[in-house]
Amino acid sequence: MKWKKKAAPAVGAVACQLRRKEHPFSNLRGYVPLGGGEEQIYHEIREAIPVLDAAIGKLVRLSGGFTVRCPDKTVQRKLEDFLKTVPTGHAQVGVDSFLSCYVDSLLTYGRAVGELVVHNGHLRAVCWGDVRSVEIQEGETSLDLRLCAPGESGRMEPLPYQELLLFTTWQPEPEHPYGVSLFRGMPFLADILMKIYTAMGSNWERAGNVRYSVVCKNDDGLDAAAVRQRGAEMAEEWSRAMEDGKNGTVRDFVAVGDVEIKVIGGEAPILDSQVPVRQILEQLVAKTGLPPFLLGLNWSTTERMSTQQADILTSELWALRRCVEPTVRKICRTYLALEGLDDRVEIEWNDISLQDITEESKADLYKAQAENLRKGN
């Protein structure tokens, strides 16, 4: 049998391997929603589009803090002191810093992981982890979950102390039981937006660093050698004039004959990107649930947060709080149990205030006046 040899690749194909001209976030173009391995895509989306990065930060800050309530006031003071001073890793102190990073990961990747560090029978630290470095596996039942990390052999192995690990999912679905990222549905639109921005950058780079076309038209009947010589002399003089202009000196360009000088691509207009960019940003911002003006997008001169917008955003923030509250309660109860104290604790979240304080005060005043009128009647 005669084996056919594979054809050698073309020279151009080999030479172009390191010369690809495309936008820097190339993973967005090859995204296929398969339900797994999307963490790097979401990380690039957040890095590529500052509006989405700001949206995550605002949602984390608007979620606010909390206070704890225990039946015994002495136990409550000890727990409050622990929550304020517990190390959380990366030079951060306090459970609020842990909760900020935990919620940030929850919104970005759809899940968040953490760890309770116990030493000599006491809870010493509460650390958050990178969900991209762990793997979730189901046990014998769907209620039995195990977090795995690379072992000495390089394979994913279950971590030894599963009871000390923290794991939370955001809006799990039957198809995605381990959480859904806030950025789901955005890679396609983000890819289009990156193409527009990349094209804008290339066009402005050409517009700011112009290239000239110098054409000398003459009919002197010169031979080919003379034409080449005259062209070389004209190119040398033009280059010298341009270089002197960069050095701060002015030099005239003098040529003999009918000389025509044009800017290459100067006649081509730059496309207006305002409408398509706004249409895409409207879709992306709508997914975050935040009003556009909170992200610096002043699409209307009279934009302000209405009562309906505030109520909707408040409900979104309360849903986020309910999602992470079991994790906060586990941290508090673990500390109290290891200290030998009563582990009964209640989590009370701070009030969410999104309305104008003046308008709220007026509303309270009108309610009080109406109540006085009812009592008088």
144: left (phi over 0), alpha (psi -120 to 50) or beta: beta
* More confident: 177 or 267: 177
- Assess contact for 264 and 211: CB atoms under 8 A: yes
Q: What are the φ and ψ backbone dihedral angles of 93, each rounded to 5 degrees?
A: -135, 140
Q: What is the mean pLDDT of residues 312-325?
A: 91
Confidence (pLDDT) at 245: 57
Q: Tokens 């701070």 map to which residue?
A: 350
Confidence (pLDDT) at 363: 78
Distances (CA, A) of 111 to 60, 95, 286, 332: 14, 18, 21, 21
Side-chain half-sphere CA neighbours of 284 within 13 A: 28
Arithmetic mean of pLDDT over the chain: 81
Rounded to whole angstroms, the Cα distance separating 189 from 195 reads 10
* More confident: 262 or 15: 262
Helix (H, G, I), strand (E, B) or coil at 283: helix
Q: Is the pLDDT of residue 56 over 50?
A: yes
Q: What is the mean pLDDT of residues 15-29?
A: 54
Confidence (pLDDT) at 139: 73
- Assess contact for 86 and 126: CB atoms under 8 A: yes
End-to-end CA distance of the chain: 109
Confidence (pLDDT) at 236: 79
Confidence (pLDDT) at 256: 66
Q: What are the φ and ψ backbone dihedral angles of 75, each rounded to 5 degrees?
A: -65, -40
Q: What is the distance of C-alpha 283 from the center of its chain?
A: 15
Confidence (pLDDT) at 1: 46
Helix (H, G, I), strand (E, B) or coil at 347: strand
Confidence (pLDDT) at 319: 92
Using a cut of 0.85, tell me whether the model's pTM lies above it: no
Rounded to whole angstroms, the Cα distance separating 110 from 169 reads 6
- In the structure, what pLDDT confidence band is assigned to residue 301 with cuts at 50, 70 and 90? low
Rounded to whole angstroms, the Cα distance separating 184 from 182 reads 6
- Assess contact for 305 and 291: CB atoms under 8 A: yes
